[in-house]
Amino acid sequence: MNINILNTTLGVCLVGLLALSACEEAAIPVGVDNTPITLDTISFPVVKAIAYQSPPEMGKTEYLYFGKQDGFDFQYNLIKFDSTSVTANTPFSYFNDSLVVVDSLRLSLRFDKDSIASDAKFQLRYFPSGGDSVFNELESNYLNFNQAIASEIISTAQMEADSIDTNKTEVYLNFTLDSSIVNAFRDTSVLEYNRSFLVELANESSESFYFHSTDIQAGKQPELTVFYRQFLSDTVVLDTTSRSYLAVADISIITPPPISYEDSTTLSVSIAKGLKSIVFVDMGDWTLPSKSIVSSAQIIFNRVESDSIAQFKVISHPMTSDGDYERFASYTDDPYDEDLNYFTSTILIDNVLKINHRKVATEIGHKNFTNLGFKLQSSFSNDPFTTVKFYGINNTDSYPVMRVIYVLQ
């Protein structure tokens, strides 16, 4: 009996030892010779590079601009509102009901500042004949948008302060609209009615005014409010109530100033000027070994100016067509499409821009993608009026170059 107990105990201990197998290990230092997996590098020259201009793409900026500034002429702004309200998801067709009576509409824009230093007058138009689409936030510009399709002026307004509390004041531009406007919106024969407005200064001004757009991160986007009453019977009517419709798209139509010599002779990028640049990296017949991974494939640019600027991001994509590098040119439409699968966004650090295009470089190295060059443009998060210029290929010291670092088995 005792022997059995002893045997069982020892057996359990043995199993326990097996179960608790463990190691304490420190890596053994060895020489690098004859070990697999290696690092390799290769550098490619940028052999062609040029800046070009296309109409400014202002649809994703944080503000709607009015007036003039640094040679820019902010002509007018286009705003489109949602088809359903913020609360209750009320569509405009709701106002077709004979028991619903619209009293008025109000279009509000929030001013960038908290005080009023100007008595500038603004005016509002809309597009009763605009069909289902008036403008495209990403494509409309001063060259391709016809302002003449807008209606006569339907409202005018001046900025007015609205006290939020005793310490804080916000400034709004409030247009009051006649209830007849909503008749166009609620016309059920056009289900996707454009619901678009044009806002502009009533008179030319040398000042500039910034209002919050739909793309502002912390602010208040444009809003259209419908005030109405609902009849419960012929004699009983509810108090006036309202529905708010937020803007879903907006854009400032601006005319850029003339391009400077420096802008056209360097690799410049700017939203408001419509400046972009293209570069061609001569990667020859480079083949990335199979089973390799690109650690970085940086196209490196050096900024012309040496002063510090606020955080500035550059967006870059590979192009899907050949570029024209002969001379600086202005186009009515951007002639260069990009492959959006290889989007990169890079912050300028210490006036050096290092765009890591390792994803597309891998595909180029594996012969899955044709290298047609790369396009650079300013990020929509930047100040649209900032122009950043980089040295081109003619600079003897700070010319752009692509450096690839890769790890291979």
Residue 11 binds another protein, judged by CB under 8 A? yes
Query: Considering only residues 275-294, where is the footprint of another protein by CB under 8 A?
Result: 291-293
Site for another protein in 346-365 (CB under 8 A): 359, 362
Query: From the CB of 23, what's the least distance to another protein, in Å?
Result: 4
User: Which of 1, 36, 70, 261 is the binder for another protein (CB under 8 A)?
Assistant: 36
Rg of the chain over all Cα atoms, to the nearest angstrom: 31
**Rounded Cα distance, 227 and 230, in Å:** 10
The reply to whether 1 sits near another protein by the rule CB under 8 A is: no
Question: Whose Cβ is closer to another protein: residue 273's or residue 358's?
Answer: 358
Q: Taking the complex as a whole, how short is the minimal distance between the CB of residue 291 and another protein, in angstroms?
A: 6
CB of 320 to another protein, least distance (A): 21
Under 8 Å between Cβ of 95 and 226: yes
Q: CB of residue 277 vs another protein: minimum separation in angstroms?
A: 22
Query: For another protein, which is the closer residue by CB, 164 or 407?
Result: 407
Instruction: For residue 6, report the phi and psi dihedrals to the nearest 5 degrees.
Output: -60, -45
- Distance separating alpha carbons of residues 104 and 377, to the nearest angstrom: 43
Q: What are phi and psi of 359, to 5 degrees?
A: -65, -50
Q: Which residue among 23, 148, 218, 236 contacts another protein (CB under 8 A)?
A: 23
The region of 16-24, 105-113, 303-311, 387-395 touching another protein under the rule CB under 8 A is: 16-24
Q: Smallest distance from the beta carbon of 272 to another protein, in angstroms? A: 35
Pick 35 or 87: Cβ nearer another protein:
35
**Which residue in 26, 218, 232, 310 binds another protein (CB under 8 A)?**
26
Which of 93, 230, 295, 386 binds another protein (CB under 8 A)? It is: 295
Pairwise CA distance, residues 226 & 86, whole Å: 12
| Candidate residues 1, 5, 25, 217; the one interacting with another protein per rule CB under 8 A | 25
DSSP 320-383: SS----SS-EE-SS----B-GGG-EEEE-BTTEEEEE-HHHHHHHHTTSS----EEEEE-TTS-
Residue from the set 12, 43, 329, 341 that interacts with another protein by CB under 8 A: 43
Q: Least distance (Å) from another protein to the CB of residue 22?
A: 7
Asked whether position 409 contacts another protein by CB under 8 A, the answer is yes
Interacting span for another protein (CB under 8 A) from 7-15, 180-188, 243-251, 252-260: 7-15
The residues, any chain, with a CB within 8 Å of residue 290's CB and separated by 6 or more, are 366
* DSSP secondary structure, 176-215, as one string: EEETHHHHHHT-TTSTT---EEEEEESS--SSEEEEE-TT
What would the two tokens of residue 211 be?
A: 């209002």
Residue of 216, 246, 283, 405 interacting with another protein (CB under 8 A): 405
CB of 10 to another protein, least distance (A): 6
Count Cβ atoms within 10 A of the Cβ of residue 258 and give its class: 0-12 exposed, 13-18 middle, 19 or more buried: exposed
Judged by CB under 8 A, does residue 22 bind another protein? yes
Binding mask 304-343 for another protein (x = CB under 8 A): ----------------------------------------
Please report which residue ranges of 106-242 form alpha helices under DSSP H.
180-185
Which position among 1, 5, 34, 218 is part of the footprint of another protein (CB under 8 A)?
34
- Would you count residue 403 as binding another protein (CB under 8 A)? yes
Candidate ranges 104-112, 272-280, 316-324, 401-409; the one touching another protein (CB under 8 A)? 401-409
Q: Compute how many other C-beta atoms are within 10 angstroms of the C-beta atom of residue 115.
A: 9
- Number of residues near another protein (by CB under 8 A): 41
Report how far apart, in Å, the C-alpha atoms of 262 and of each of 72, 279, 391 are.
18, 17, 10
- 81-85-87 Cα angle (round to 5): 145
Pairing of strands 329-330, 38-53: parallel
Specify the DSSP class assigned to residue 57: -
The kind and range of the H/E element at 9 are helix 2-19
Residues that bind another protein (CB under 8 A): 3, 6-7, 10-11, 13-14, 17-18, 21-32, 34-39, 41, 43, 291-293, 295, 359, 362, 401, 403, 405, 407-409
